[in-house]
Amino acid sequence: MGVSDQEKGFDERSEMKGGVINDYHDAAGHGHIATDAYGNSLVQFDPAAERRLRWKLDLYTVPTVAVLYLFCFIDRANIGNARIAGLTEDLNLVGYDYNKILSVFYISYIIFEIPATVCCKWMGPGWFLPATSLAFGIVSVATAFVHSQAAICGVRFLLGIFEAGMLPGIAYYLSRWYKRSELTFRLSLYMVMAPLAGAFGGLLASAILKLPHFGSLHHWRMIFAIEGIITIGLSLIAFVTLTDRPETARWLTQEEKDLCIARVKSERLAQTEVIDGIDRVKLWRGISNPVTLQIAFIFLFNNITVQGLAFFLPTIVGAIYPEYSTVQKQLHSVPPYAVGAVFAVAFPALSWYLDRRQIFIILSAPTVIIGYAMFLASETPSVRYGACFLIASTCMVLGTMTNAHISANVVSDTARSSAIGMNVMFGNIGGLIATWSYLVKDAPNFPIGNGLNCATGSMIFILSISGYFWMKWDNNRRDKKNVEQELAGLSPEEVANLDWKHPGHSLHISNIWAIMNPHATGTTTALDPPNQRWKDQWEAFNDKDEQAVQLYNALVREWNAWAKDDAAEKEDNWIELIERLRIMPDQRAPGFSRVAWYPESDIMAHRYNENGPSFVRVFPDMFDKVPVRGTVLQGNPQDSSSHENNNNTPQQSNHPQESDLS
């Protein structure tokens, strides 16, 4: 049952219908869209070519931004290490002075968050990220020479300005290169640098404190100076190694550039460019997206915990073990961060494998709640130190998950930049609150800080659950709309500017059952409409087009033959079958939309088209995971002729993007 040369040729030909192109070389071109009216991809990709491209992207883009973010976070959080190394005494800080210094950083960070993100888009992240890294490296070195509270407040304010665009800028940068399902794991590879900064920063600070003094630089001043110099060196290297966009990547061939652009464009509804110009309408679309606002509040509550750990974990460890030396306290702050780093990569890796995000946001909250409850309920040092591990295990995950979730639920490049900036801005409001969560007067038990973080964990759980159900409701509401009628009279530019308000756009949410049963099998459903939206078309189908039933049943028979023959579960066989189903009968051009295995559990479904022949739609997404066994049942008992006798040409599916468990 090999694939004929004629059949193989279908994916290599470009078919243009009203500006829509199936060949990825053409889809990558300016002015062409790569989705239908419902956001379904019109482009067929070679999985092997995609895998090769991903490896190349992972090698050239992720390491540079990950290392930059590592030292970005170290330069921000090293004040916690400096505090127990003599900063408080040298600068005569008393009472709430330390908390005030921390707050100044977040005030500038919050104010400049969205402007910095827009500036990143305007300059291009390939230039913006190294430039801002160079700036905050210089500021970190300058911190080593301050001698008053006013001076350190000034440099921390500048540090907030220059670091404001770093986290959202990297998330935005990676969204230029990766598809939605791939982005979460790649974000984790740089976001994991936050807990690693806590672990590595503690080790580095311990090592620096053992170095001999250099002139007037000693103790905590050496921490700021050496770590700042390292940041400056890395930023200069990044100017050379960081590529701004696929089109300018010298390390990609032209074919790989086209594939990279087309892959990203194939997930962006009605967009003719991957990287569009700055547009006020689209900027507002990103900020006003209900998903952006809901997730931003989750990140706000989460960052109270994350930044609280970053600034106060050495202090908390010191309160748990007051008899320890300064170096011992620094070293005991490392293991919880190491555990957090493992989970910060493990959860996103699972998210990539399952193509789900929302469920991991939900699951991250309970461990934080339990951890802070342990702090409140016990004064035993081992219990409290153990609680640090429990808290760090999942609180570090949400930086990745929230930015990936927001990126998946806006459409245009401009909206994505503002949405991510909005999310990080809210997160840093949480960071500002965190600076006042652990006060000197509350030591050693810190009931206010621990109680606050227990409450924020509860709010994350409530918001994530309620957000899940709201998105399901909104998707159902969109399913009832007639997209063609909604878009009637709009120009292509006006359609593109709709962004997430486009009636064909579906919010990417989670199907919890699919997480529990990721390899469950199912059968095709009978010839019934999937929802009320298609009732009229299906009634017309029953009266007007018997050939669709014949084609449907012919494909079912073909599928059953392969299912019985697949004793070895060879993935290549299943993929080849999908390719055959796409092009049957002969002369049928490929035109299936983006498809999903969950939540419908359908392998294939036929669609009636009022303006043209009907066809069968195949659901092959599960084949890039694990082959699924089982015989598919015919959805209609009536007899049908062989598929070779059917000459239906499929039109694009009038079906919105299925919700994935994002």
658: Cβ contacts below 8 Å, ≥ 6 apart? 506, 595, 596, 598, 599, 600
Question: What pLDDT score does 17 carry?
Answer: 35
Check: CB of residue 618 under 8 Å from CB of residue 604: yes
> How much is the average pLDDT of 404-420?
82
> How much is the average pLDDT of 22-37?
61
Q: Which of 451, 450, 492, 500 is nearest to 474 (CA)?
A: 500
pLDDT tens digit sequence for 314-373: 788 888 888 888 778 778 888 888 888 888 888 888 887 776 778 888 888 999 999 999
Question: What pLDDT score does 471 carry?
Answer: 83
Does this model's pTM top 0.85? My answer is no
Question: What pLDDT score does 290 carry?
Answer: 87
> How much is the average pLDDT of 555-580?
50
CA 102 to chain centre: 29
Q: Is the pLDDT of residue 132 over 90?
A: yes
DSSP code of residue 618: E
Q: Element (H or E) spanning 617, and its range?
A: strand 615-618
Categorize the per-residue pLDDT at 14 as very low, low, confident or very high, splitting at 50, 70 and 90: very low
Question: What pLDDT score does 31 carry?
Answer: 58
pLDDT tens digit sequence for 503-537: 766 555 543 333 322 222 233 333 333 344 333 43
Helix intervals (H) in 396-500:
398-408, 413-434, 447-479, 483-487, 492-498
Question: What pLDDT score does 334 carry?
Answer: 82
Q: What is the CA radius of gyration of the chain?
A: 27
Check: CB of residue 404 under 8 Å from CB of residue 187: yes
Q: Is the pLDDT of residue 594 over 50?
A: no
| C-alpha span between 103 and 157 (Å, rounded) | 9
Check: CB of residue 583 under 8 Å from CB of residue 618: no
> How much is the average pLDDT of 154-160?
94
Paired tokens of 649: 């040409």
Query: Mind spelling out the 3-state secondary structure of 149-188?
Result: HHHHHHHHHHHHHHHCCHHHHHHHHHHCCCCHHHHHHHHH
> How much is the average pLDDT of 161-181?
89
Q: Which residue has the tokens 């997930």?
A: 267
Question: What pLDDT score does 34 carry?
Answer: 62
Categorize the per-residue pLDDT at 129 as very low, low, confident or very high, splitting at 50, 70 and 90: very high
- Cα dihedral sign for 581, 264, 253, 351? negative
Question: What pLDDT score does 504 carry?
Answer: 62
Question: What pLDDT score does 605 carry?
Answer: 41
| C-alpha span between 280 and 659 (Å, rounded) | 28
Using DSSP bridges, classify how beta strands 20-21 and 604-607 pair: parallel, antiparallel or unpaired.
unpaired
Which amino acid would we find at residue 476? N
> How much is the average pLDDT of 104-123?
90
> How much is the average pLDDT of 111-140?
92
Q: Is the pLDDT of residue 618 over 70?
A: no
C-alpha angle 484-652-2 in degrees, rounded to nearest 5: 175
C-alpha angle 340-341-345 in degrees, rounded to nearest 5: 115
| C-alpha span between 636 and 526 (Å, rounded) | 6
3-state SS, residue 334: helix
DSSP-assigned states of every residue in 3-63: PPHHHHGGGGS--EETTEE-SHHHHTSTT-B-B-TTS-B-----HHHHHHHHHHHHHHTHH
Q: Is the pLDDT of residue 616 over 50?
A: no
> How much is the average pLDDT of 9-30?
44
Q: Is the pLDDT of residue 115 over 60?
A: yes
Question: What pLDDT score does 189 carry?
Answer: 87
Question: What pLDDT score does 576 carry?
Answer: 52
pLDDT tens digit sequence for 429-452: 998 898 888 887 888 888 898 999
* Domain range summary for the chain, segments of one domain joined by +: 49-474, 517-662
Q: Is the pLDDT of residue 296 over 50?
A: yes
Question: What pLDDT score does 515 carry?
Answer: 30
- Give percent of the chain above pLDDT 70: 64
Question: What pLDDT score does 25 carry?
Answer: 61
| C-alpha span between 220 and 330 (Å, rounded) | 13
Q: Average pLDDT of the chain?
A: 72
Q: Which CATH code fits 49-474?
A: 1.20.1250.20
Categorize the per-residue pLDDT at 214 as very low, low, confident or very high, splitting at 50, 70 and 90: confident
472 burial level (CB within 10 Å; 0-12, 13-18, 19+) = middle
Q: Element (H or E) spanning 319, and its range?
A: helix 290-320
